[in-house]
Every structure is written in structure tokens, then in C-alpha cells.
Chain A
Amino acid sequence: MNKKRIRVLLIDDEEEFANTLAERLELRGYDTKTAVSGEDGLNLMNGESFDIAVLDLMMPGMNGLDTLRRIKSQTPDLPVVLLTGHGSTKEGMEGMRLGAFDYLMKPLDIKDLTLKILSAVDASDGNEK
């Protein structure tokens, strides 16, 4: 069986966090690209396509919610999972109102993230059919 690998765009200004998490996702069979700012993430999206974006909310420059707005206006069907700090649930809820699939608290559990990615991609595939 040749199952298609899920392409993940991970946007987080903490480069070491993003790279380590990307490596963990790769080990689990996901194709993962990282971007260290909202602008970088949007540029990557112009050049290639992804099945899901995982987006940190608290970033300098273009913050997570602004990036989310841009992603949703550019590719409305791309599911987005948000990463928030503890104590930032308000921003997470606001993100969902803006169209994010869900949010997770940082530091996160890799199992929670992969489950969330799978259900977001499944839901998105279901919507397309």
C-alpha cells in the first residue's frame, strides 16, 4: 500500500523547537517544512502545497493570528492547528473563530499533535469530497 505522506508546514519563531519537532514528525512519516516567521511561512506556501499548517500564535513581527488570517484568505481550505502558550486560551479560541481547526498548548505532546493533524486532514479531505 502506497499511502501518501502528509505534508506539514510548521511555523514557529523558536527555530530549535521547530526543527526538533519537524524531525520527530519526519520520524513518524510526515513531510515537514519549517518556517521561523509568518512571512516565511506564507512565502513557502507560494512555492509548494501543504496538507496542513501548524502555527505558533505568539510570534514577533506578523503574529500568529495575522498569519492565520493571511493563510485563510490565500488558501481557505488548508487546515491550521494553532500552538498556544498556557494562559493563552483566549487567543486559541479567537484563532478557531478565524477558521483554525483547533489549538494545542505548548509544550505539547507529540501524540496529541499527530492525532490533531490526522483528524484535521481527514476533515479537510471529507470537505473536499
Chain B
Amino acid sequence: MNEQDFLKARLLGKLTASATHEFQNVLAIIKESAGLMEDVLAFTPMEDAEVLEQRLGMPLSTIKKQVARGVDLVSCLNGFAHSTDHVRCKVDVQVLVNNLLALSRRLAANTGVDLALEEKETPLYMETDAVQFQLCIYYALESLFSALPARSLITLSLEGSATLSAVTLCATHPDQPVPDDLSRIICREKAWEVLLEAARAIQVRPKANDTGVTLFMDS
């Protein structure tokens, strides 16, 4: 990434990280306020406390559930924003990919596709340009979005021990096999061209196959 591209990405990252900090504060206030309402119900003896709890229990639980959902998303967005901090650095690939998937899930859902990451017990690290690496993963996903039928699932798995050797994106469908000419369809996608260009910059080698895409780390 050249200096100007880095500064552009860095600006977006800095402003996003700053905003996520504010969102975290907003969510923290909502969470504490809901918690205080629960406390008042629990600590104040009153004749109709049970009735009140029945009426308020559900909305309070909804507030807490949605705050937890917001916190997860904001944390992923914060992590994503901080991935622009350095041109090149050592990254925990599982954390990076997990954040990216959480933030891409809505875009995938718009095309009827769901995303999953196969969890690894031990972390995998890689020294790379984190923004460029995420660009590759994202365009590998996008090249699959329109190639797959609705209700497909793309499962990402990280290969390697200690350091990353490949990222596999494998498509499945609950009722039907994936298109048998999937690799040909993928390679016709505009996103595939973008992926090839982005991958070249960080020595990543994308390969389309019958179940999806594999990104080999050549560096």
C-alpha cells in the first residue's frame, strides 16, 4: 500500500475507532439503565412487584439482548478500524477474519448467503498488510455471493500451524449441491478480477475450485 492509500485507510480507521468508542459508551449507559430498572424491581419490596416484573421482564431482557448484540458488532467494528493502524504488522488471523465476517454478514444475507468461521483452538499469526489481506478475503466472498443459490453457507477455515498457509472458503447448501461449474462462474465475476489484483500485492494466490475459493499464502 502506498503512503496516500495508507493515509486514506488510516483516516477511515481512526474516525471509525473513535465512533465505536462513543457507541460503546452509549451501549454501556443503556445497559446500566436497564440494570438499574432490574435492580429497582429486585430490591424494592412492593405488593405488585411480581406483576411489574412480569410486565417489565420481557422488555428489559430484550434491551439486554440487543445491547449484547450491539456490543459484539461494535467490538468487531473497533477491531476492524484498528486494523488500519499499521501498513504492515503481525495479526491474529482468526480475530481479523472473525471481525470481517461479522461486519460482512448483512451484505451476505442480502444475497441469501450465510457466513461461518471454523474456530481454531490455537491462534494463527501472519505478518501482513491487514487491510489488503481483508480486501482479499472480502472479494473472495463477494465472488461467491452471486455465484451461489439462496440459503447457501460459506464456511471459512484457516489452514496452517502457528502461521497461516491458506484460507479456504467452502460453499454448501442444505438441499442441493453447489453448482457443478462453480469455479467457472466465480472466475467470471468482477469481484474475482478485483481479488486477483489485490492478492498480487501481498503474495496471496487465489484459486477457484468446485466448492469455493482457496487463498494460498505464498509469502
**Chain A residues within 8 Å of B, Cβ to Cβ:** 14, 16-17, 20-21, 23-24, 27, 58, 85-87, 106-108, 110
Contacts and interface: CB of A to CB of B under 8 A. Distances in A.
Contacts of A58: 21
A85 B33 contact: no
Given A14-B29, A86-B71, A107 B24 contact: yes
Nearest to B40: A27
A65 to B, nearest CB: 15
Interface of B: 17, 20-21, 24-25, 27-29, 31-33, 35-36, 39, 43, 67, 71, 74-75, 78-79, 82
A21 B32 contact: yes
B32 A24 contact: yes
Given A14-B25, A24-B32, A58-B21, 15 more contacts: A14-B28, A16-B33, A17-B28, A17-B32, A20-B35, A21-B32, A24-B39, A27-B43, A85-B20, A86-B24, A86-B78, A87-B20, A106-B28, A107-B24, A110-B35
24 contacts: A16-B29, A17-B25, A17-B28, A17-B29, A17-B32, A20-B32, A20-B33, A20-B36, A27-B39, A27-B43, A58-B21, A85-B20, A85-B25, A85-B78, A86-B24, A86-B71, A86-B75, A87-B17, A87-B20, A87-B78, A107-B27, A107-B28, A107-B31, A107-B32
Contacts of A17: 25, 28-29, 32
Residue of B25, B33, B78 ringed by the most chain A CB atoms within 10 A = B25
Contact of A86 (B39, B43, B67, B74): B74
A17 B67 CA distance: 15
Nearest to A19: B32
Contact of B25 (A21, A106, A110): A106
Contacts of B39: 23-24, 27
Nearest to B82: A87
Contact of A87 (B27, B36, B75): B75
A6 B29 CA distance: 24
